């Protein structure tokens, strides 16, 4: 009975990128004898493990008896195992029938396994830009858009007329998995031509793939991963924006207090997302149910566009002002003689309705009614009826810039 | 199959409405039976959050949008009647700081509101933890204030149980549950926080564990040493948290230390400390039994009626003599200056309040009373009510 022992050797083929080994694209020949594992390029190394270690690479081994039976560095012990698989089931696994092992060579950095030459070879199609792990900031259009991001591939000098298909995917979600958004996009370039894209009011992890048919064979490149991240917005710009938005209000600088209260004036902050440290949208403590300057509910716009974040907050505050007027009218109707609130006092009512103490109850507004000894009604700060809301409003007012 | 059933029921509801010749544009939960038996049960319909928000806004005459984070139709009391439990947001920012419990009585809907820092999901909120057939409501309750969006709020689990007329906070009666279910995870959380070396994470975990200990196995001064240490912190957030803990402990020593924070050089710390100080003055009041004498067994309070709301405060004669009657306030929050007068009868102190001054609004299901004795100790009582706006106040008449 045939002893069926499958040995899978996974080799991280990082040779070409490792200094002195950069020109050596020869990973490992699939051959019939252990001695053939050390052809000319590998001379001087006792084992395959040593060869790869010297080049900054590594490999793992899984034998029939498990890794402990055939561990890295004990190559010689593989003798006695053999395998004769149907080729169709292994494709590029380099599963030659002549000897006892099946090697699965994994080429890295875009290199591809050449099943004829038995080695990793430079890819025919390479993404030139964006480079892997690059980043682009929202430094244009008042800190809401990236400069032009170039997409360029190299199909080789002989293929300048080749059409390159690009598949992009921009994804973002907060650290707590909130506000998940995925945005696929595709386009075509020709040869080494460049396509330029601008990312506005969005950001996140950008995965870039390219493909082309070269010499009748589909070649894939990438993925290269790039990051669209935020920028540090100057405090002066934030203040100007917030004052402009609420210019007609009784306290034109009121929104600066909200921004300071909610985010300490930060739309973005240095943090790590997708294993990348950069300026990501500021998240609420619960994993990002709210984001940005005004701590608005998470969405792509609120996370990446500080103008949208502040605009929507101002719109909401105006709605709260209208509700505050309505509540004021209702309370006055119940307490004859109670005077109207001033515009600034009405803003306090609206602030409570914008914050964590928002309530539909007339007894839980910023102001409540009180009666003096003569039976006259007046307004009183409602710190007992709604301490959470009143403290929030007072804090905002104390933080106006 | 489920979807088909739901759609069928919605279509049926339309047909029913059409048959009645009503002008309603769409079916609402009010159009269904709020019982666990029979067909047309409200719990069997696939309501959306928007449906529930609209229903709550209409039922309470709200003038702003109510956003619903989560909701359940569930028989809370095991009596065959279904209640609606929903997490609601009034801020427009999805803060979900209100838990609403809606009970239907005939054509009337009574709503009890319980405050919470943020409760988007109701998972784990409804549970019969003492196996008495009536479900308890477990509400994450804020201990520390909202400092800003990036700073967590320390919470504790307040347990509300049915007392015959409303869900009342009764956590101290569930010390066994706390000891077996709540404290252990909090201790593990503290251990994890300690591993991070992050001062705010450690303080937060310690504060939450201390509070859980105070409300369950005690003693009531647990956390005093932590709070005193936090007072000395250079981090203003930790000093704000210390103020909240000290106010919550509420002993003379704690309040003395809290007073120092009201003078803190950081104006934010001082502001929060003053708020904690004010809340502390009412946080440790004696509970007294009160009852609404109006409106028969439903305790109906008609906002359009000129009749006062009559509240019986059950205190013995000696203690009722010691009440500072002018201090008594009553209404939706319990701090409304709605008192008309009080008089002593055989079994209770009976006080009358102006309905329009009480702050109670249509569908309110709970009223609160506060008062002080002449020695400045305070008392608080809550009672179930059913607020309507006149004889036309019933749902089906307005609908």
pLDDT tens series, chain B, 399 aa: 333 333 333 333 333 333 333 444 578 999 999 998 877 899 999 999 999 999 999 888 887 889 999 999 999 999 999 999 999 999 999 999 999 999 998 888 999 999 999 999 999 999 999 999 999 999 999 999 999 999 999 999 999 999 999 999 999 999 999 999 999 999 999 999 999 999 999 999 999 999 999 999 989 999 999 999 999 999 999 999 999 999 999 999 999 999 999 999 999 999 999 999 999 988 889 999 999 998 888 788 888 888 899 999 988 766 666 889 889 999 999 999 999 999 988 778 899 999 888 989 888 999 999 999 988 889 999 999 998 877 544 444 433
Which residue in this structure is represented by tokens 């009531």?
A: B220
User: ∠ CA B224-B230-B233 to the nearest 5 degrees?
Assistant: 160
Sheet of A8-13, strand order: A58-62, A8-13, A102-107
Q: Which residues pair with B167 in a beta bridge?
A: B162
C-beta of residue A226 within 8 angstroms of C-beta of residue A130? yes
User: ∠ CA B217-B219-B224 to the nearest 5 degrees?
Assistant: 130
C-beta of residue B363 within 8 angstroms of C-beta of residue B88? no
Using a 10 angstrom Cβ sphere, with 0-12 exposed, 13-18 middle and 19 or more buried, the burial of residue A283 is buried
- Cα–Cα dist B241/B233, whole Å: 11
Query: Which two tokens mark B264?
Result: 């803190």
Chain-chain contact of A385 with B335 (C-beta, under 8 angstroms)? yes
DSSP string, A341-388: PPHHHHHHHHHHHHSTT--S-GGGSSEEEEE-TTS-EEEEE-TTT-HH
- Cα–Cα dist A395/A261, whole Å: 7
- Mean pLDDT score, A367-376: 89
Q: How far is CA A343 from CA A100, A248, A335, A349, in A?
A: 88, 11, 20, 10
Residues of B in contact with A261 (CB under 8 A): 148
- Mean pLDDT score, A89-100: 33
Is A282 an interface residue toward B (CB < 8 Å)?
A: yes
DSSP string, B234-297: S-HHHHHHHHHHHHHH--HHHHHHHHHHTT-SSHHHHHHHHHHHHHHHHHTPEE-EEEE-SSGG
Closest CA to B108 of B398, B397, B399, B395: B395
Chain-chain contact of B148 with A262 (C-beta, under 8 angstroms)? yes
Helices (H), A248-305: 254-263, 300-304
Chain-chain contact of A398 with B271 (C-beta, under 8 angstroms)? yes
Strands B289-292 and B309-314: antiparallel
Q: What is the pLDDT of residues A59-86, one digit of tens each?
A: 433 333 333 332 332 222 222 222 333 3
C-beta of residue A379 within 8 angstroms of C-beta of residue A370? yes
Q: Is the pLDDT of residue A98 over 50?
A: no
Q: Is the pLDDT of residue A332 over 70?
A: yes
> What pLDDT sits at residue B4?
35
> What pLDDT sits at residue B320?
66
List, in order, residues 6 or more apart from A65 with CB less than 8 Å away: none
- Between residues A340 and A119, the one the model is more confident about: A340
C-beta of residue A306 within 8 angstroms of C-beta of residue A145? no
Q: How many cross-chain Cβ pairs, A to B, lie less than 8 Å apart? A: 138
Is A356 an interface residue toward B (CB < 8 Å)?
A: yes
DSSP string, A7-48: -EEEEEE-GGGSGGGTT--------SSGGGGS-GGGTT-SSH
A110 falls in which pLDDT band (50, 70, 90)?
low
Is A40 an interface residue toward B (CB < 8 Å)?
A: no
When scoring B69, B150, B332, B340 by the number of chain A Cβ atoms within 10 A, the one with the most, hence best to mutate, is B150
B367: closest chain A residue by CA:
A363
Query: Which two tokens mark B209?
Result: 């564990």
DSSP type of residue A173: -
C-beta of residue B338 within 8 angstroms of C-beta of residue B331? yes
- Cα–Cα dist B208/B355, whole Å: 39
> What pLDDT sits at residue A111?
58
- Cα–Cα dist A26/A41, whole Å: 7
List, in order, residues 6 or more apart from A235 with CB less than 8 Å away: A265, A401
Query: Which two tokens mark A325?
Result: 């007027």
Q: Is B350 helix (H, G, I), strand (E, B) or coil?
A: strand
- Mean pLDDT score, A87-105: 35
> What pLDDT sits at residue A388?
95
Which residue in this structure is represented by tokens 């934010």?
A: B268
When scoring B60, B93, B389 by the number of chain A Cβ atoms within 10 A, the one with the most, hence best to mutate, is B93
Q: How far is CA B311 from CA B164, B289, B299, in A?
A: 17, 10, 11
Rg (CA), chain B: 23
> What pLDDT sits at residue A222?
87
Of A353, A360, A391, the CB nearest to B145: A391
- Mean pLDDT score, A195-224: 94
CA–centroid distance for A105 within its chain: 31
C-beta of residue B385 within 8 angstroms of C-beta of residue B292? yes
Closest CA to B64 of A144, A319, A281, A21: A319
Query: Considering the entire predicted model, what is its pTM?
Result: 0.81
B329: closest chain A residue by CA:
A370
Closest CA to A56 of A23, A21, A10, A103: A21
- Cα–Cα dist A365/A359, whole Å: 7
Chain-chain contact of B333 with A335 (C-beta, under 8 angstroms)? no
Query: Which two tokens mark A4?
Result: 């069926």
> What pLDDT sits at residue A104?
40
Mean pLDDT of chain A: 78
- Cα–Cα dist B315/B29, whole Å: 41
Element (H, E) at B240: helix B236-249
Residues of A in contact with B357 (CB under 8 A): 334-335, 369
| HSE toward the beta carbon, residue A194, CA cutoff 13 A | 9
- Cα–Cα dist B368/B309, whole Å: 12
Q: First CA to last CA across chain A, in angstroms?
A: 85
Sign of torsion, CA B355 B361 B366 B367? negative
Q: Is B115 helix (H, G, I), strand (E, B) or coil?
A: strand
> What pLDDT sits at residue B37?
80
Q: How far is CA A51 from CA A24, A43, A106, A363, in A?
A: 12, 9, 16, 78
Using a 10 angstrom Cβ sphere, with 0-12 exposed, 13-18 middle and 19 or more buried, the burial of residue B124 is exposed
> What pLDDT sits at residue B227?
97
C-beta of residue B298 within 8 angstroms of C-beta of residue B266? no
Chain-chain contact of B275 with A323 (C-beta, under 8 angstroms)? no
C-beta of residue B330 within 8 angstroms of C-beta of residue B358? yes
Helices (H), A23-175: 48-54
> What pLDDT sits at residue B388?
86
DSSP type of residue B364: B
C-beta of residue B74 within 8 angstroms of C-beta of residue B62? no
- Cα–Cα dist A291/A375, whole Å: 47
Residues of B in contact with A369 (CB under 8 A): 336-337, 357
Kindly state the percentage of chain A with pLDDT values over 90. Answer: 63
Put simply, the chain A residues between 261 and 280 with a CB less than 8 A from any chain B CB are: 261-264
Closest CA to B182 of B147, B158, B151: B158
Residues of B in contact with A290 (CB under 8 A): 93-94, 149
Q: What is the pLDDT of residues A115-169, one digit of tens each?
A: 555 455 667 899 999 999 999 999 999 999 999 999 999 998 888 899 999 999 9
C-beta of residue A393 within 8 angstroms of C-beta of residue A385? no
Give the number of other Cβ atoms within 10 Å of residue B151's Cβ. Answer: 17
């Amino acid at each position: 009975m045939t002893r069926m022992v499958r040995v899978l050797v996974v080799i991280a083929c990082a040779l070409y990128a490792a200094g002195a080994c950069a020109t050596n694209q020869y990973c490992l020949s699939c051959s019939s004898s252990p001695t053939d594992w050390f052809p000319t390029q590998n001379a001087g190394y006792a084992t395959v493990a040593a060869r790869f270690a010297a080049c900054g690479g590594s490999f793992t081994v899984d034998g029939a008896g498990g890794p402990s039976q055939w561990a890295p560095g004990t190559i010689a012990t593989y003798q006695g195992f053999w395998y004769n698989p149907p080729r169709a089931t292994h494709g590029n696994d380099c599963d030659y029938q002549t000897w006892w092992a099946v090697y699965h060579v994994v080429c890295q950095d875009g290199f591809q396994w050449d099943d004829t030459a038995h080695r990793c070879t430079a890819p025919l199609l390479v993404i030139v830009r964006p480079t892997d792990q690059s980043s682009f900031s929202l430094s244009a259009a008042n800190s809401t858009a990236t400069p032009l991001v170039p997409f360029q591939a190299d199909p080789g000098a002989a293929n300048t007329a080749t059409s390159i298909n690009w598949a992009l995917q921009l994804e973002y979600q907060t650290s707590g998995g909130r506000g998940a958004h995925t945005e696929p996009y595709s386009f075509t370039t020709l040869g080494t031509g460049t396509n330029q894209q601008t990312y506005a009011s969005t950001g996140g992890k950008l995965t870039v793939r390219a493909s082309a048919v070269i010499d009748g064979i589909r070649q894939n490149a990438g993925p290269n991963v790039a990051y669209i991240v935020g920028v540090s917005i100057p405090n002066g710009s934030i203040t100007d924006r917030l004052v402009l938005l609420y210019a007609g209000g009784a306290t034109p600088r009121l929104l600066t207090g909200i921004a300071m209260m909610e985010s300490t004036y930060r739309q973005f902050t240095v943090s790590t997302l997708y294993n990348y440290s950069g300026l990501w949208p500021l998240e609420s403590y619960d994993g990002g149910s709210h984001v940005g300057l005004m701590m608005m509910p998470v969405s792509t716009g609120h996370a990446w566009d500080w103008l949208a974040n502040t605009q929507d907050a101002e719109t909401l505050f105006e709605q709260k002002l209208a509700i505050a007027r309505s509540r004021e009218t209702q309370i006055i109707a119940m307490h004859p003689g109670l005077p109207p609130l001033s515009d600034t006092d009405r803003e306090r009512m609206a602030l409570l309705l914008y914050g964590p103490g928002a309530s539909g109850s007339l007894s839980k507004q910023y102001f409540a009614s009180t009666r003096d000894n003569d039976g006259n009604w007046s307004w009183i700060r409602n710190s007992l009826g709604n301490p959470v809301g009143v403290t929030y409003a007072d804090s905002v007012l104390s933080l106006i810039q | 199959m489920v979807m088909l059933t739901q759609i069928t029921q919605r279509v049926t509801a339309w047909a029913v409405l059409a048959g009645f010749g009503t002008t309603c544009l769409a079916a609402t939960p009010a159009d269904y039976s709020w019982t666990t038996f029979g067909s047309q049960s409200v719990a069997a319909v696939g309501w959306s959050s928007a449906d529930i928000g609209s229903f709550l806004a209409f039922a309470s005459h709200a003038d702003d949008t109510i956003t619903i984070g989560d909701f359940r139709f569930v028989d809370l009391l095991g009596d065959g009647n279904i209640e609606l439990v929903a997490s609601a947001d009034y801020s427009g920012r999805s803060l979900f700081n209100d838990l609403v419990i809606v009970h239907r009585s005939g054509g009337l809907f009574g709503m009890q509101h319980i405050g919470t820092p943020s409760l988007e999901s109701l998972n784990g909120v409804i549970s019969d933890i003492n196996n008495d057939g009536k479900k308890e409501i477990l509400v994450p309750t804020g201990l520390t204030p909202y400092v800003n969006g990036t700073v967590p709020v320390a919470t504790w689990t307040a347990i509300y149980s049915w007392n015959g007329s409303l869900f009342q906070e009764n956590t101290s009666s569930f010390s066994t549950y706390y000891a077996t279910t709540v404290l252990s995870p909090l201790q593990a959380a503290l251990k994890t926080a300690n591993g991070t070396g992050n001062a705010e994470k450690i303080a937060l975990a310690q504060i939450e564990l201390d509070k859980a200990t105070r409300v369950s196995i005690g003693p009531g001064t647990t956390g005093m040493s932590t709070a005193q240490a936090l007072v000395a912190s250079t981090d203003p957030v930790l000093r704000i948290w210390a103020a909240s803990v000290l106010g919550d402990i509420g002993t003379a020593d704690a309040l003395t230390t809290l007073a120092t924070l009201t003078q803190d050089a950081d104006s934010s710390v001082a502001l929060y400390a003053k708020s904690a100080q004010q809340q502390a003055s009412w946080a440790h009041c004696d509970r007294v039994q009160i009852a609404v004498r109006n409106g028969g067994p439903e305790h109906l309070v008609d906002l359009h009626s000129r009749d006062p709301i009559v509240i019986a405060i059950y205190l013995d004669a000696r203690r009722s003599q010691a009440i500072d009657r002018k201090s008594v306030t009553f209404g939706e929050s319990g701090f409304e200056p709605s008192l008309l007068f009080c008089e002593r009868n055989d079994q209770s102190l009976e006080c009358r309040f102006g309905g329009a001054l009480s702050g109670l609004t249509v569908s309110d299901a709970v009223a609160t009373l506060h008062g002080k004795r002449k020695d400045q100790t305070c008392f608080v009582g809550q009672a179930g009510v059913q607020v309507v706006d006149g004889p036309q106040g019933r749902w089906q008449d307005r609908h």
